Amino acid sequence: MPTCSALAVFGLIALLGAAMAQSGIPAETAIRGALVKWTRDFNAGDTREICNLFAPDLRYDYRGHPERGFEEICGLLHRSLRDRTKSYFYSLQIKEILVAGDLAVVRLVWTLKVSPVGAADAMVSEEPGMDIFRKQLDGSWRIIRYIAYEN
């Protein structure tokens, strides 16, 4: 009988330990942090981690453009941030984050300001959209799908 009790205690400890290890940072906080970090990196022109917000299996739809994937968005981001003839600045408004298990949906609005270097004029576009995140094996949250359009 003591052996069964000891096994039960060890089993309970193992289950609690696994549950505690998986909890970590709440999903909403982690997702919000990832979006804020990406915005900060983008606005600083930091290309080192600019693609880390997106999962390798990313698919995205932007109204008026063909559906694209990870390689296309990553290439576009790198080209844009290396373009010394323009400056880019994103601001972010998160409207809602809904989490269900390892998936999350974020309703948001990106506002992009593109200014030719040395010019006072800027093009400003407001881009409402929806990002779907999936929790990755390493515990990070990355975008697997997104839909956006320009107002």
Q: How does pLDDT run across 110-122, given as a tens digit for each residue?
A: 999 999 988 888 8
Let me know if residue 126 belongs to a domain.
yes
pLDDT at 13 over 50: no
Considering only residues 17 and 75, tell me which one the structure prediction assigns the higher pLDDT. 75
Let me know if residue 15 belongs to a domain.
no
Q: What is the reported pLDDT for 14?
A: 38
Let me know if residue 117 belongs to a domain.
yes
Q: What is the reported pLDDT for 25?
A: 84
Does residue 64 sit in helix, strand or coil?
A: coil
- pTM equals 0.81
Q: Which CATH number does the domain housing residue 57 bear?
A: 3.10.450.50
Domains: count for the chain: 1
For residue 22, name the pLDDT band (cuts at 50, 70, 90).
very low
Considering only residues 131 and 10, tell me which one the structure prediction assigns the higher pLDDT. 131
Residues above pLDDT 70, as percent of the chain: 84
For residue 66, which amino acid is it? P
What are residue 62's DSSP bridge partners?
Answer: 148
Let me know if residue 130 belongs to a domain.
yes
pLDDT at 96 over 90: yes
Nearest to 91 by CA among 114, 115, 119, 113: 113
Let me know if residue 17 belongs to a domain.
no
For residue 65, name the pLDDT band (cuts at 50, 70, 90).
confident
Considering only residues 24 and 85, tell me which one the structure prediction assigns the higher pLDDT. 85
Let me know if residue 20 belongs to a domain.
no
Q: Which residues contact 142 (CB under 8 A, 6 or more apart)?
A: 34, 52, 53, 54, 55, 58, 133, 134, 136
State residue 89 phi and psi, 5-degree precision. Answer: -145, 120
pLDDT at 9 over 50: no
Which residue range forms the structural domain that includes residue 142? Answer: 26-148
Let me know if residue 16 belongs to a domain.
no
